[in-house]
Structure 1
Amino acid sequence: MVETVVTNTPPAGARLASDRRRHVGVNAPLLNQPLPQFITGGVDRAEQDRGRAAAQLAGKRHVVATSKCASPSRTSLRWCDLPLRFAWEKVVEALFRFQFAALGLLLCFATATHAQDNAPADEFAKVVRTTEPLSPADEMATFTLPEGFKASLVVAEPDIAKPMNMAFDARGRLWVTTSEEYPIPAPADRAGKDRIVVLEDKDGDGIRETVTTFADGLNIPMGVYPYKDGVICFSIPNIWFLQDTDGDGKCDERKELYGPMGFERDTHGMCNGFTRGFDGWLYACHGFNNHTTVAGADGHEITMQSGNTFRFRLDGSRIEHFTHGLVNPFGMTQSPAADLFVADCHTKPVSLLLPGGYYESFGKPHDGLGYVPPMMDHLHGSTAIGGIAQYNADVFPAEYHGNTFGGNVMTGCVNRNSLQQIGSSFRAKEEADFLVSTDPWFRPMDLQVGPDGAMYIADFYNRIIGHYEVGLDHPGRDRKRGRIWKVEYQGNNGNTKSVPMPGESATPDELLAELASPNMPRRTLAMNRLLDSYRNAASPSQSSDAAESVDAQVHALWLQQRQGNLNDQAIRISAEAESELVRVHAFRIIADRDEAVANSGTIMQQGFRDASPLVRRAAVLAAAKHVHFSQLRPLIDLYHDTPAEDVYLQHSVRMALRNHLQSPELFQQLDRELTDRDIKLVAAICLALNTPDAGSFLIRHIRVLSDAPPDEFANYTRFAVRHVSAQNVGTLTAVVRERFADNPSMQLELLKAASDGLKQRGASTPEVIRNWAATLAAELIGLKNGKLPAADADPIVWSYVPYPGGKDQGSPFQVTHRRTSTDGMKETPLYSSLPKGEQQTGIYRSGSFNPGEQFSFYMAGHDGVPKDPAGGKNLVRLRDAATHETLHTWPPPRNDTAHQFNWTNTDDVQCTYIEVVDGDSGNAFAWLAVGRFSVEGLNPNTRIEQRREGIELIGLFQLADFRDVLSILLRRSNSDVTTGELLGKAIAGMQADSRFHALAAACGVTDLAATVRSSVHNALLSDSTDNIEETLGKVMASATSAQQLRVAEPLCSDLTGAKLLVALVDKGKASAELLRRPTVADALKAVADESLNSRVQQLLNSLPDQNAERDALIASRTQNYVQQPGSAVAGEAVFAKNCSVCHQVAGKGKKVGPNLDGIGSRGANRLIEDMLAPNRNVDIAFRTSTVVTTSGKVASGLSRGYDGARLILIDSKGAEISIPRDDIEELVVSRRSPMPDNVAEILTEQQFRDLTAWLLSLRN
């Protein structure tokens, strides 16, 4: 039941639109009557009640939703007294109009809210919500809040459109940036339609009844901060100071402070979250994807790409980088200890900012120290987070104090986290959501705690919130509706009265008294107003509460610091104060000062030893600003003494040490009397220095570092090679080869790291490293005295084949050592189908081999429950490699012990292969394990992988002396296409012609006839190119479309290859569809001449409509998934194999493309479309870059920017392409995604269904 309460009852005849039950009774006879046009406008008209009819009636109307009822739809409504200035005739007219407007809303409610109540369960997963908009009153009825809280409407359309950011001023007024233009900026030939409005409570009753447009003509304004007689805001393309110089409450002067700020690539983040620090700087977020290079009046310039934070002086004098990274930070809040927290859309809902720290982003590197550790793992079921507020007031119950609140614009909730302190660090603990709405249009995108202790929520109220998931010009985007909600705590007594902020004529004494307020927004607003308006008159000694209030003491310190009146003695006294918070701010002030305090060494070391970890971290931040040799040893000791759980203190110490060691003089003084533990700490910091001194330090101490974890030691090697001389590289090589003489795998990793370092440096490979690579390659390949072993000693390759009719979940077979054999052998090495689960099925097929006269092996396992007859699904069979005839079949022994099986080759068959078949998907007794073959090459071993590693190493360093060895191995590799392709790439890499690289790709095509494969090998090894076209034509005739694409892509890297590809298409040897593949089309466009482009276009014109085919594929795959959903468990394995090279989920995988946490919220329809048609909605940050080199070569992929002297691209397979900067002639960014657009060919239908099932499960 809906309970409605009306207080301060309106004049007779007036009815509230939200008083639904009684309204039905009163007006039932009118329901069948024709309605005036302004009523039949439906929801739009009803939603304008507050701005028109209701505004005329009462001047203000305050609608509130409380939590006193269990149901979120139960509401309490209140009317406020009529202002006397309205003439009664207007009131009578408004009453008449409002009654009919209420009836119109009633009819809308009968449809809109009913549909809302019965909305599908997955409505919140849709990127375009299908429900209709609700009036503010009806939307509020969908809110659920904790006991004792109530929500009330502050303002709605038409007074505002889309609210972007909010901020309070020192008079308690609420300033709001509001946009109708978003998400498409106003064109240059007209002014924007957007505004900044000011909401004011002039009579002190807690209701902001006055809405004033302070500035209009703006262009998607976001960040906002009221300042002096105006406001600082961002509006495309600048940060402005909008000023009211004549006191009429309207902007009449506009001053550009900083700009232009990037907006061209993306408008859904830009510059937002303006937050005034204790130090007087204005801190801000730089949103997703845009590039900004900007300077202040002092000429100091910064460059920001995509997510970052920065700070600036309010007079335009200076702008500074604050932190690096994040994806799309939107919203910022400050703690009483001056920590800043941001919400980041696409990484974490809460992140603490460490000055100078680097945060994880899409493929952006860190500074060498690693990313600042996250303070949470959960995502509240969405990566679409907007706004953050920390509650630092005394009105809410104690359990909410210090909590952070975040807007979740996808789930329609305001999330809540409590912050668990761990030393100086914090861990966000997920609490019950603070506000939950059942209206899918509710989009909380900014939050602020007001000076009254209430929470204010900017509601972007919209059917669509996604910036990339839905076209910017989608007609469903609403541009008119927007609401701001106030959530306050009433407790049991219902008291909502708050003390107003000091007014326009406030004296310094009144503002000084506010510094003791338990409400942090009040006291910070008062402090800033004192400094901005009464800078010289404000004297902290006037605050009578300073002695009692720690907060007042803190603000008094900052008042004096910002006035320039705080002396060193006062700082020293504060650094020893009894209050932890005062000590924290004493060191924050030291960090804020341009000059160190007198006797800073003593004070800093005192701070490092403070009992409070928060003070220690503040002291370390101060030390990072004021470097001095006397701080080096104490900082090192502090790091060692800090518990590993205090991740922010440890990271802060490392950043402070980095700043110290950037000085060559300090570095040289440090490198004395260091313990091994100290050396390892300093070595890790060297990776962030990029100096020869750092490289030399690593070389000098390489023996101490050689027991570091492999990844860490590889980083040291990569760095040292990049930064030290060739002579020192020789020293490094000798130590590494000695230390890891018995560990070829580690040597391989270090050689790869050395190769990376040389590429970053843009240097040729020193001979000492080439010799090392050659020695290791020979060992890995198996050369003895420079010769390969006999062919019959080569390991035989096994391959997985899906079981016919079963689910393809990947190979179930793994090597195990768990079984005993009947002859007593323990830990028998066997290929087993048990480890991955007995329900998994598959066939493990060997390469061909000569079985000899007698063939034998051992097998353990089952073929069904022992008491039942054998099922005949699990078996081993020997087959003729020429005819595929089954020569013999063996069932499992139905025993856990491995038994021997024998076969006599009476017919002298020379070439056979083995298949181990697990076709039993039962839950038990459904596995088998096989090994100890009489043909040694069949048995589990590491020789195949080692040989492949050796081949890869030869290709990496282009060791031409191995060409003859590679040629022999290539001719032996007929049945091992994986090794064959690696061999082909190593051989082709020694020459530039793209046609040889296409032949290398052809080596990896399965199911080629032996004669065709032999032709490929011959062409690849030949010095002539005469037979390449004919050979590739035969390959294309046998290849699948996915395999054809792999052969075609390298051909497009130069004009000669491109002409060959088009010729193959022209002659019908290769599919013309190849020309539409993004990786082919973009490369062809970059390399082809006019004649070739013309022929390509003719071939493309002959093809059927691609969108129709793709739409049919999407529809088919969607229908198939609905009818037969996949396995999420199997889908995770598909993701790990095919997708994790570019995408990350729950912190696993590479962060090259978008993070996929929460992607399941998109729903099956959109998810399947995104997988099968990745080029339809491509975020500008993830578009393909195509590079043409000075030699005419072409490469394509996602650009990760420059690393040293080289541009780094990531191709569609997740592989890194490194191109010297000086070799780049042209770089073009297309609108295509680097994601493969042939996923339907790469994955089987079962794999596709499984992957879809797993991705859809990622909702939290």
Structure 2
Amino acid sequence: MKFKRFLSALLVVAGGTLSVLLSSLGTASLGIGQELPRQSTTSPGDHTTLATLRQFRVRTGKTISLAAAEPDVVDPVSAAWGSDGKLWVVEMPDYPHPRPDQTELHGRIRVLSNRDSSGRFQNMKTFADGLNFATGVLPWRDGAIVTTAGEILFLRDTDGDGRSDEQNVWFSGFTIDNEQLRANHPTLGSDGLVYVAGGLRGGQITAIADRFDARSTPVSLQNRDFYFDPHGDDWGVVSGKSQFGLTIDDFNRRIGCSNRNPAIESTISADLIDRVPFLNAADGIADVGLAGFESSVSPISDAWTTSNLHAGQFSAACGVCAPGWMADSDGEWLLVCEPTGSLVQRQLLHQADGSWRSEREDQPTEWLACADDWFRPVDVVPDFNGAALVVDMSRAVIEHPHWAPPELKNRLDTWYGNDLGRIWLIHEGETAPPITSVDSDGAALAAIIADDPLTRMLASSYWYANYTPLSLPPEDVLEALAVKLIDHSTPPAGVARIALILNRWGRLTSNQLDLLRAHSHARVRELAAGTREHNRPAGPPRQSVRQLTPALADSSPQVRQSALQSIAVRSSDTDASDVDIAAMIKLAARDGNLPRMQKLLVSLSPPDSFNLLRASLTETSDVPVAVREGWMLRAATWAPSRSATLLANWINVRDRIIEQSSDAEVAMRLATAWKTGAASKKLRKTGPDPWTADRLRQSRAQLDAIDPVAVSLAVGESYSLAARLDAIAWCRTLTPLPTEIRHLVQPATPPQLRAAAYRILMQLDTDWCEHYITDHANEIPPADRTAIVSAAQQQIVTAMWLLTKIETEELPRTFVDPAAMDWFRNHGNSEISALGKRIFAPAGDVAAAMQEYAPALQQVATADVVSGKALFAEHCASCHRIDGVGHTVGPDISDSRTKTPAALLTAILDPNAGIDASYVTYLVLTVDGETITGLLAGESRDAVTLQLAGGHTRRIDRDDIEIFQPSEISLMPSGLQRVLSVDQMGNLLGYLKRWRYVASATANELTE
């Protein structure tokens, strides 16, 4: 074996000034570094550790140093600390997928130890190799829990030599479709359970090991995360939807992430959501930080996102970390990676209105960024004394080919860097923080109340690994924990961990729980209110509804929410008392507009919901209508007849409802909720309380007084949009359909109401609606056309009517957008599909042009992109914008990764074939004889606004308009084939597909 001496640098950043201190990073000696077979061609550019260090920018006051690098670690993707102070690292050199000529898998688990003062680990050992795309590791007892492709394994070291010699499959069935979307990050919660990020694609999970509870059928992981008790028995799903990353703090708050969502909190428990029919998995999570287009990142590298629309935003967020690093008395720090931008962002995490919120630091630069675009941070791991480890996969390309456009799926640099890998340590001061190991009860007792989050975490890990409810630690340890639990000097985070440990072991007493409910720190009170038996996610709450009710008046909304969630779980066991109902009414009036609280309020049992609804229907009630709607929905599914009587009695006198608009709106929305709930109750003719169609009609008849109110609301301009939409839906049940609904399709009506009216009229007043549409075809705006087409698609007869009117040219072909055209062409009914194919076929001259210009499609990869850009500027830039050139009038064509060259050519040669409803051209003829053509940018009762070619807008008063109608002609000119040669068309297509690659390397260069 050849030995190499590696030189690197300790990069010290002080006052924003970078200084590089060269130091020897040690010699790779026998048994320390293992060479993996290189599978990639050596790439150009200097991406050594020293070169990368010189290009870092880190927050003032922080120091960055190298903790590990190739060959000691190769393609690391995650890491976790053992309670013995060793760092376990997961490697994935086979990413993004095995090469065609590959015969072996190279996934490894490496164990690093003996860190020197510079931060560099000196000892490395391979614990396991040949792993099938390992995605996470959790040191556990005499081995490690490892997530791999489709499975969760326990790898044991039975002889103590530091290498795994026994492999046990604990769970299987996790989806493996995409290497980037697999279960990952097994993480020990502060409650003693192991949580696993689901990877977004879910699966059908089966427990393989006998130690876990047997299930008759696999458990679906759809839109959820996973959990299990590492000692056996309990396992299942929890709320959460994390792609790659999971962080759990002292209070067992779980935060995950996904590409466009840097921080996602798990909020409402899965067992509660599953018992409420109108809630789903998405209701159990909430974005903590700004996501998608609202997010912001500031790379200093040449960051390249698969979609140019995602530039400057999170597009590959992963490795979120928020273990409890305190920023101040009210906030914490959260770190999250953005490997596409070669950066790690720090956000300030704080509580607001009962939810966690995080915002990017108010700084022009990121917490950590690198100009070397091979720096690919994919995970952040807490280190000691507030430091952090950044796991750097160090790759030329980090995005999976699955998401890449066809021209980039097989680029050679996909594997560049698969023989590299780094772990960086970011800390304060010039020397690395000392490592703390927790290897005894005494050490754990000291560590559990430490100021450092990682040290506290290791204390929990030590105790959970070594003890169980059936094998408790010595009594003096339990007594010491009980003392620390109530000691005022114990930090709240330590109190939380101790409480969860004792509860897990069945040793948290009722008296101790009472003290926790009265604790001065809100998060401790929140924890107490949400405590469940033995910390099991689906276990019963430790406290009764009576004990929890006082917490509904707590000063902290987080505590109130936690208490209400436990009450909602409990409410299926026993009905709430009058005192409890009164407390919940006050809570609803106080917090009912908070999104999470609203979901919890409507999660209460149907009997409680009925009683709450009854209590809220008073003159003095301030409970939001949305909450009362939820209660009615719950009550109507349980007792539809009683609920209808309750509402009918409240309505009482019809004049009262009509005269008081607020009452009218409330009545309408509650009646709509009743209709939905009652309709969901299964009809049955037998049983103690039979529910038949006759009883449904009789119950509905109790609400006849609302019928004229619904008509008045539907057409009344002073009422809210929500109430008017409910009223239109209610009118659907009336026979005959009130003719007043016809007035709602007039231009002065808000667009949402027009669309709703068209949908009902097309189905229930078909003849009138069809005549109106054909008579006013040129006046109907795009949004209404979409609603009409959607309604026509509901019935064969109306679908045929629509197509026939288009074929006879009584309706323009642009009445149907491209997606609907495909629906008609591919319909299962042969008459509809035949008519659709005939009507929406390209014109003969277009077909001939497509054949003539077909050779241009073969020139895209070798096109002259510079010439193509000039052609774009000349012929397209008046309405389209790419790379800073042109105007944004028509559809955005800059993000062409999902469009094939053939699709682009079709759009160029036949722009009128499929005009999106949002881009229909309108023609205005003014009373002065002026003709104006443009896209409809907006309309009101008094005026219309057109978007003109060149990016300008024009507002025209309706009083000045003689003719206002849509055109079948696209704003984009047809006939470019008459001015562009085949070669020029090839260059234009080449620019549209490859403009983003010109600055660095063309797609052709990357795939040659």
Fold in common (TM above 0.5):
yes
Counterpart of 1:618 in 2: which secondary structure? helix
Partner of 2:911: none
- Matched with 2:920 is 1241
Counterpart code for 2:637: R
1:986 to 752, 760, 770: 760
Q: 1:633 to 1:513 in 2, by over 3 A?
A: closer
Please state how far the C-alpha of 1:657 moved relative to its aligned partner: 1.7
2:275 is equivalent to residue 342 of structure 1 = no
2:223 paired with 1:314: no
1:175 aligned partner: 88
Which residue in 2 is equivalent to 1:406?
A: 336
Q: 1:451 to 1:1005 in 2, by over 3 A?
A: farther
Deviations 1:373-430 (A, max 9, x none): 7655584543442113346689xx9999953322133443222234557899865464
Task: Return the offset for 1:241.
Answer: 1.2
Structural mapping, 1:851-890, within 5 Å? none
Q: 1:483 aligns with which of 394, 416, 421?
A: 421
The residue that corresponds to 2:636 in the other structure is: 721
- CA drift at 1:244: 3.7
In structure 1, C-alpha distance between the alignment counterparts of 2:262 and 2:754, rounded to whole Å: 47
1:609 aligns with 2:609: no
Distance 1:297 1:1098, change over 3 A: farther
**1:956 corresponding residue in structure 2:** 732
Distance between the aligned counterparts of 1:949 and 1:609, measured in 2? 46
d(CA) in 2 for partners of 1:973 and 1:985? 14
C-alpha RMSD of the superposition: 5.8
Task: Give the letter aligned to residue 386 of structure 1.
Answer: C
Determine the structure 2 residue equivalent to 1:164: 77
1:279–1:562 contact (8 Å) kept in structure 2 = no
Within 2, Cα distance between the matches of 1:780 and 1:1002?
26
How far off is 1:696 after superposition? 4.8
* Partner Cα separation in structure 2 for residue 81 and residue 1062 of structure 1: 77
Contact 1:636 1:678 survives alignment (8 Å): no
Query: 1:687 aligned to 599, 602, 623, which one?
Result: 602
In 1, the alpha carbon distance for the partners of 2:463 and 2:59 equals 37
Equivalent residue in structure 2 for 1:1087, among 820, 825, 828: 828
Amino acid at match of 1:195: G
Equivalent position SS for 2:121:
coil
**Distance verdict in 2 for CA 1:485–1:1006, change over 3 Å:** farther
> Among residues 385, 404, 427, which one is paired with 1:470 in the alignment?
404
In the alignment, is residue 656 of structure 1 matched against residue 566 of structure 2? yes
Alignment of 1:421-460 (within 5 A): 428=358, 430-431=360-361, 432=363, 433-450=366-383, 454-460=387-393
SS at match of 2:372: coil
State the structure with more CA Rg.
1
- 8 Å contact 2:806–2:812 — kept in the other structure? yes
Q: Deviations over 1:839-876 (max 9, x none)?
A: xxxxxxxxxxxxxxxxxxxxxxxxxxxxxxxxxxxxxx
Q: 5 Å matches for 1:764-843?
A: 766-767=696-697, 770=700, 775-778=705-708, 781=711
Q: Does 1:388 align with 2:320?
A: yes
In 2: Cα distance, 1:777 partner to 1:1092 partner = 38
In structure 2, what is the Cα distance between the partners aligned to 1:762 and 1:659? 24
Q: Residue 270 of structure 1 aligns with which residue?
A: 182
Q: Which residue of 1 aligns with 2:36?
A: none
Query: Quick check: 1:1120 aligned with 2:879?
Result: yes
Aligned-partner Cα distance in 2 for 1:445–1:737: 63
Is the 1:388–1:407 contact (alpha carbons within 8 Å) kept by the matching residues of 2? yes
The one-letter amino acid of 1:77's match is L
Question: For residue 110 of structure 2, what is the amino acid of its counterpart?
Answer: V
**Cα pair distance change 1:1119/1:268, threshold 3 Å:** farther
CA contact (8 A) 1:242 1:253 kept: yes
Residue 651 of structure 1 deviates from its aligned partner by 1.1
Q: State the alpha-carbon separation in 2 of the partners of residues 159 and 1236 from structure 1.
A: 57
- 1:210-257, Cα deviation, whole Å (9 max, x unpaired): 555543443432121122343211112111112344555444432111
Structure 1 partner of 2:200: 288
SS at match of 1:260: strand
Matching residue of 1:935: none
Q: Secondary structure at the match of 1:746?
A: helix
Residue 330, structure 1, aligned to residue 233, structure 2: no
SS at match of 1:611: coil
Higher RCO, 1 or 2 (CA under 8 Å, sep at least 6)? 2
CA distance 1:1238–1:135, shift in 2 (3 Å): farther
Letter in 2 for 1:489: H
- Report Cα offsets for 1:1180-1211 as digits up to 9, x if no partner: xxxxxxxxxxxxxxxxxxxxxxxxxxxxxxxx
**Cα displacement (A) at 1:652:** 0.6
* CA distance, structure 2, for counterparts of residue 274 and residue 332 of structure 1: 8
Measure, in 2, the Cα distance between the counterparts of 1:951 and 1:584.
50
Residues 1114-1193 of structure 1 mapped to structure 2, 5 A cutoff:
1120-1122=879-881, 1166-1167=894-895
Q: Is the 8 A contact 1:777 1:953 kept in 2?
A: no
Paired residue type of 1:286: G
Q: Check 1:185–1:1078 CA distance in 2 against 1; reply closer, same or farther (3 A cut).
A: farther
Q: 1:749–1:290: structure 2 CA closer, same or farther, 3 Å change rule?
A: same
| Aligned counterparts of 1:464 and 1:487: Cα–Cα separation in 2 | 21
Q: Partners of 2:570 and 2:385 in 1: how far apart?
A: 45
Could you tell me which residue of structure 2 aligns to residue 820 of structure 1? none
Residues 961-980 of structure 1: pairs in structure 2 closer than 5 A: 961-962=736-737, 965=739
Corresponding letter in the other structure for 1:64: L
Instruction: Give the 3-state SS of the residue equivalent to 2:230 in structure 1.
Output: coil
Deviations 1:692-739 (A, max 9, x none): 453355346533785422323333333322322314312223214557
Q: Residue 521 of structure 1 is aligned with which of 454, 460, 483?
A: 454
Take 2:281 and 2:256, find their aligned partners in 1: how far apart are those partners?
Answer: 24
Query: Alignment partner for residue 1077 of structure 1, among 811, 815, 818?
Result: 818
Aligned-pair CA distance for 1:339: 3.5
For the structure 1 residues 767 and 1253, does the alpha-carbon distance in structure 2 shift closer, same or farther, using more than 3 Å as the test?
farther
Shift of 1:677: 2.9
The Cα shift of 1:145 comes to: 1.6
Change (3 A) 1:180 1:358: farther
How far apart, in 1, do the equivalents of 2:813 and 2:353 lie?
A: 63
Paired with 1:430 and 1:359, the residues of 2 have a C-alpha distance of 32
Q: Secondary structure at the match of 1:333?
A: strand
CA distance in 2, matches of 1:368, 1:1098: 43
Give the counterpart of 1:584 among 496, 506, 509.
496
Question: Which residue identity does 1:447 align to in structure 2?
Answer: V
Q: How far, CA to CA, are the matches of 2:194 and 2:230 in structure 1?
A: 7
Consecutive unaligned residues of structure 1, counting only runs of 5 or more, are 1-51, 87-103, 114-133, 537-557, 784-793, 796-939, 1010-1037, 1136-1163, 1177-1234, 1255-1260
Give the alignment's TM-score, normalised by structure 1.
0.55
Identity rate, percent: 15
Report what 1:1206 is aligned to: none
Matched, 1:79 2:24: yes
Does residue 677 of structure 2 align to residue 757 of structure 1? yes
Cα separation, partners in 2 of 1:594 and 1:729, compared to 1, 3 Å? farther
Change (3 A) 1:1126 1:563: farther
Query: CA 1:1249–1:416 in 2, change beyond 3 Å: closer, same or farther?
Result: farther
Change (3 A) 1:562 1:698: farther
Q: Alpha-carbon deviation of 1:143?
A: 0.7
Amino acid at match of 1:655: Q
Asked if 1 retains the 8 angstrom alpha-carbon contact of 2:391 and 2:424, the reply is: no
